[in-house]
């Protein structure tokens, strides 16, 4: 997580480097499961608010190795 303008929290999902992974589709799944807005910046997914636990759970269920920091 990180703080943005006006103190808003943002959850960052990074380290998804495999070229076969559709980052936009993964972002769509994460936004739906976390019920949050978000964006893709390069290979980084940003979700609005603190969704570390939920995002980690969704990524594990989709076969990714997860490290929460």
Residues paired with 46 in a beta bridge? 12, 39
pLDDT (0 to 100) of residue 1: 72
pLDDT digits (tens, 9 = 90+) for 42-68: 989 999 999 999 999 999 998 889 988
| 3-class DSSP assignment, residue 46 | strand
Residue 69 has pLDDT above 90, yes or no: no
6-37, pLDDT tens digit by residue? 888 999 999 888 888 899 999 999 999 999 99
Supply the pTM of this predicted model.
Answer: 0.86
| End-to-end Cα distance, the chain | 8
pLDDT at 5 over 80: no
Q: Are the CB atoms for 47 and 55 separated by under 8 Å?
A: yes
What would the two tokens of residue 26 be?
């993964």
């Amino acid at each position: 997580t990180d703080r943005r303008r006006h103190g808003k929290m943002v959850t960052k999902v990074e380290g998804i480097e495999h070229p076969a992974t559709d980052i936009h589709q993964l972002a769509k799944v994460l936004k739906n499961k976390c019920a949050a807005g978000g964006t893709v910046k390069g290979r980084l997914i940003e979700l609005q608010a603190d969704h570390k636990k939920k995002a980690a759970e969704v990524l594990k269920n989709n076969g990714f190795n997860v490290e929460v920091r």
